[in-house]
Structure 1
């Protein structure tokens, strides 16, 4: 990485000012938004991003886990499932959008395991 500074950093953060760096595009350089330090694409060759979101995967549903109401996937609230009509769903939240926007709520029916999302 180019640039020197007081920070010992992984390649996801600027070594000069410590700010998080933008994602590497297909070509070109990465420029720090805060201090304008420039990094070559080769600096990021060892970084791999791998995200997997399983959402209503049919292969994960079977008779053993469909009716398992003893192990909900999170806190349970009163919310009607649009698939089976059950009035209880568990939920989990994640901040997927920018920090000045609301969080995303993932609901899972405790009866049929149907999943849906809501942007709050």
Structure 2
């Protein structure tokens, strides 16, 4: 990663084009750094995907959920358990989590 010496923004890399050598350029100011040699990537960082923990698991829904009329998007069954939680800011509406009583698929409505 290279940064612009004039404004401090991250420089973008541009491939060689029509006889012009490859270069780093700043997207906000006129700074350009032409490269004469090939660019070598020194180290690759492999990103590991973090496991996502569900807000509700099936046991939580069975213990604390209430039944309602809701159509399951998977099996079209008409009854489901639901529970509402405020997971965003206070001025946003609550998120409703559903679990189908037939196939036990979980979904949410924001």
Between 1 and 2, higher relative CO (CA 8 Å, sep ≥ 6) is seen in 1
Q: Please identify the structure whose Cα radius of gyration is greater.
A: 2
TM-score, with normalisation over the residues of structure 2? 0.44
TM-score, normalised via structure 1 length: 0.40
